[in-house]
Amino acid sequence: MKASQKDFKSLAPRAAREARVFFFCGPDEAGASDAAHTIAGLLDDPGERIELSGAELKRDPVRLGDEARSTSLFGDNRHIWVRASGDEAHDAVANLIGGDVEGCPVLIVATGASDKSRTAKLLAARPDALVAMFYPPDLRSVTETVRQMAGPAGLRLGGDLAERIARAAALDTRLAQSELTKLALYLDASPESPRTADIAALEAIGARTEDDGFATLVSAVLSGETGRVGAELRRMRELGLSPVGVLLAFERRAAQLAQLAGRLGRRSDIQAFLKEETAARRVFWKDERELNEQLRRWRGRRLARLVERLMELHRSLLANSQNAELLLARGLTDIARAAAQR
């Protein structure tokens, strides 16, 4: 079976009952991972979690089937969690479903894959499998999600606080949930005793802001400001930022540029277009200037090549984690040079 991002939540309970192999893909790695956690939580008895990597399964395609059909030492239930890049798990999945799919559930989170990938095509038409693809959310949708999550946490968010939290979390709902949890603890809030949160409370818990994270590096690279890139990369290392986390910020911005370029179409007045997007709350007003510059540099084939390059770089980081910082620095420097050659 196949699920879109829109209908995943309604389909998830049925899928958890009927499917044994789950394939989560798309450019939104956080969304795909969240969906996998949702399914794991809906399993009758998930038991022990066995983690495998796509690289391991690529080297030994038989292992997935062996693990899925074997039992734990004490006979307890378990489920298998696979983190793969692209179609790394294809041969292992083909081997698994070669006969009847049996044994424990297998959840695969595939970075850089899509619902058109070879692995997805193996599973999409099967009633005992689920393929679900996830796209990065925009500011408007994450802001609404933050508001929805605030109520059960016992929080009332005044003004533009929900939007600020969405921005600070880099549109990652998991990080936004973490900030709400800290806010609730700080304010001693609960559903039975709700509290109103404000900017002062957000600052008091040390919530991340865009200046604390990836935004300045993303801006320097995609705007072609090659002179700033070296200093921003040093700051990244000093802050101890995860190379993969940094790259995800670039992937989110590239996805945002793709969405904006699609809505912009053949219009030439980018500034006026972005004013409309800001008024519709699809773009944060502070991002207008940077997005204006980046849309002029990254459209059409150039933007498609940027997305492909980011996916290639992501796969390289996952395959060579020991040299991830060096690989990221080289890759981003190359992208900045390309941006400067507009």
For each of the chain's 342 residues, which pLDDT tens digit applies?
Answer: 999 888 898 899 999 999 999 999 988 777 788 889 889 989 888 888 889 998 899 999 999 998 888 876 555 788 999 999 889 999 999 999 886 656 789 999 998 888 999 999 999 999 999 999 988 777 888 899 899 999 999 999 988 899 888 877 767 777 788 889 888 998 999 999 999 998 888 877 755 444 456 788 999 999 999 999 999 998 888 777 778 778 888 888 888 888 888 888 888 889 999 998 888 767 777 788 889 999 999 988 888 889 889 988 988 887 777 788 899 999 999 999 999 987
Strands 21-25 and 129-133: parallel
- Reading the block at residue 31, the tokens are 């969304």
Position 61 scores a pLDDT of 93
- Gap between the Cα atoms of 133 and 63, Å rounded: 25
Phi and psi at residue 86, to the nearest 5°: 60, -130
Which amino acid type is present at position 5?
Answer: Q
Task: Please answer whether residues 281 and 272 qualify as being in contact, where contact means their C-beta atoms are separated by less than 8 angstroms.
Answer: no
- Gap between the Cα atoms of 92 and 300, Å rounded: 36
Domains defined for the chain, CATH in brackets: 2-133 (3.40.50.300), 139-210 (1.10.8), 213-340 (1.20.272)
Position 211 scores a pLDDT of 43
H-helix or E-strand spanning residue 157: strand 155-157
- Reading the block at residue 177, the tokens are 């949930």
Position 235 scores a pLDDT of 84
- Gap between the Cα atoms of 202 and 38, Å rounded: 28
* Residue in the block written with tokens 């006026």: 272
Position 332 scores a pLDDT of 95
Beta strands in 28-112 (DSSP E): 48-53, 78-85, 106-111
- Gap between the Cα atoms of 300 and 257, Å rounded: 10
